[in-house]
Amino acid sequence: MSRPRIGVAALGGTIAMTSESGREVTPTLAADDLIAAVPRLGEVAEVTATTLATRPSASVTSADLASVVEWAETQVATGASGIVVTQGTDSIEETAYWLDLHWDHPEPLVVTGAMRPPTTPGADGPANLLAAVLTASAQEARDRGVLVVMGDTVHTAVEVLKGRSSHPDAFVSRPFGPLGFLEEERLHLRAARARRPALPMTKGGTPPSVAVLETHLDDTGDVLDLVVRAGYGGVVIAGFGVGHVPERMVDSVQRAVDAEVVVVLATRAGDGPTHEASYGYAGSEVDLLARGVVPAGWLHPRKARVLLVELLRLGAGPGEVREEFAQRGAVRPETSS
C-alpha cells in the first residue's frame, strides 16, 4: 500500500531544543533532525520536512503563522494528505486557533511539540511527532480543521489549553474534553462539529492592538482607560464568573465602548461560557452587554483575543464582530458525517 505524503514544518520550541552547557536548552534543531530521530515515520508516511523558523513559541508571530498556511497550502496543492507543524508548546493554544481560523482545506493540519527536550530522559517529542503524522494521515481527521496532538491525545484548536506549565500531560480541552485518542497507532475521534467558514488571511502590516485585561478585586478600570487612550482597537475583558466586573469599573467600560473600542467579555474562570441573562446588577453581564459589550460565549479570553485581532484586521464592523463571536463562541452542532 502506498504511504500518504505528509508535510512536516518546524517552527522551533522544546521539541527542537538542545543544550551546549548541558543545562538550559535553546531551539537549534531543524525539521530534518526531528524526522531523523523517529525511524518509524518513514514506514507510516512519506514525510517532507521544512524548517520555517527556529524560535521559542512565545516569539512566534502571526506573520510566521501566515507563512505556515501558505506553505501548507502548497503542500496540499501538490498532493500532501496532511500537514504537521512542530512548535513550542507555550503558545500552541493561540497559534493553533489562529491557524484554524484560516485553514480552509479538508486535509488535517496537526500541531504538536514536546514538553521535554530531546536531551532529557523520557523526551516526548518523537512520540508526539509520530502521533501527529499518524493523525494527519488518517481519513477520520479530515474536515476537522486544525488539531493539536500531544501525549496520544487529540484536541481541537478551539478548545485546547495549556493547563499546566510543566509535565508531559500539560494539555487539556475545556470544557468538553479531548476530541480523541491514538491507541495502537489508530485514531479514535468523537463526532465532528460543524465548522465556520475560514476567515480570509490578510498579509503584512501590524496586527491591530487588542489587549486582554483580567479584572480583579478593586479594579478601578484605570488600566482599561489607559488602553483606550493608547489607541487600542479592541479589548478582551476576562471578567469574574459568567462575565462580571466591579461596579466601579463600569464607567471605564462605557468610555471604551463610546470611543468605539470593541470590548469583548470573556470569563477568567478558565472554563465555561459567559452568560447573557443571569445577573442584573451594575457590572453584571446583563449590564455590560446592554452597554454594547460583545459576549465571548465559550471562547477562552486568549482565543477571543486571537479572533478579535483577525476580525479587526479584516475591517469587520460591529455587527460582523458580534455575529462572528455569537457563532464561533457557541458550541457548534455535531455533523452527521
DSSP track, 120-153? STT--HHHHHHHHHHHHH-GGGTTS-EEEEETTE
| Out of 88, 145, 301, 329, the residue judged to bind ligand ASP by CB under 6 A | 88
Residues numbered 5 to 44 that lie near ligand ASP (CB under 6 A) are 13-14
Choice between 57 and 173, CB closer to ligand ASP: 57
Residues numbered 248 to 267 that lie near ligand ASP (CB under 6 A) are none
112 is catalytic: no
The 262-267 sheet, strands edge to edge: 210-214, 234-239, 262-267, 294-295
Choice between 169 and 334, CB closer to ligand ASP: 169
Helix (H, G, I), strand (E, B) or coil at 40: coil
Answer whether 179's CB lies under 8 Å from 155's CB.
yes
Smallest separation, CB 31 to ligand ASP (Å): 15
Answer whether 262's CB lies under 8 Å from 306's CB.
no
Choice between 128 and 215, CB closer to ligand ASP: 128
| Out of 62, 89, 95, 284, the residue judged to bind ligand ASP by CB under 6 A | 89
Distance of CA 69 to the CA centre of its chain: 14
Answer whether 92's CB lies under 8 Å from 113's CB.
yes
CB atoms within 10 A of CB 254: 17
- Answer positive or negative: Cα dihedral of 231, 232, 238, 242: positive
- Answer positive or negative: Cα dihedral of 38, 39, 42, 45: negative
Q: Which stretch binds ligand ASP (CB under 6 A): 82-90, 93-101, 151-159, 299-307?
A: 82-90
Max intra-chain CA distance, the chain: 67
Smallest separation, CB 154 to ligand ASP (Å): 18
Number of residues that bind ligand ASP (CB under 6 A): 9
Q: Which stretch binds ligand ASP (CB under 6 A): 44-52, 78-86, 87-95, 182-190?
A: 87-95
The site map against ligand ASP for 52-71 (x = CB under 6 A) is ----xx--------------
**Which three cell numbers mark 54?**
527556529
Q: Which stretch binds ligand ASP (CB under 6 A): 86-94, 176-184, 265-273, 319-327?
A: 86-94
Q: What is the DSSP letter of 199?
A: P
Residues numbered 306 to 325 that lie near ligand ASP (CB under 6 A) are none
The site map against ligand ASP for 98-137 (x = CB under 6 A) is ---------------x-x----------------------
Choice between 89 and 137, CB closer to ligand ASP: 89
Helix (H, G, I), strand (E, B) or coil at 88: coil
What phi, psi does 65 have (nearest 5°)? Answer: -70, -35
Rounded Cα gap, residues 160 and 178, in angstroms: 8
Burial class (CB in 10 A: 0-12, 13-18, 19+), 153: buried
Choice between 111 and 256, CB closer to ligand ASP: 111
Q: Which stretch binds ligand ASP (CB under 6 A): 83-91, 142-150, 280-288, 292-300?
A: 83-91
Output the residue with the shortest Cβ distance to ligand ASP: 88
Choice between 90 and 94, CB closer to ligand ASP: 90
Give catalytic residues, as residue numbers. 14
Contact footprint for ligand ASP (CB under 6 A): 13-14, 56-57, 88-90, 113, 115
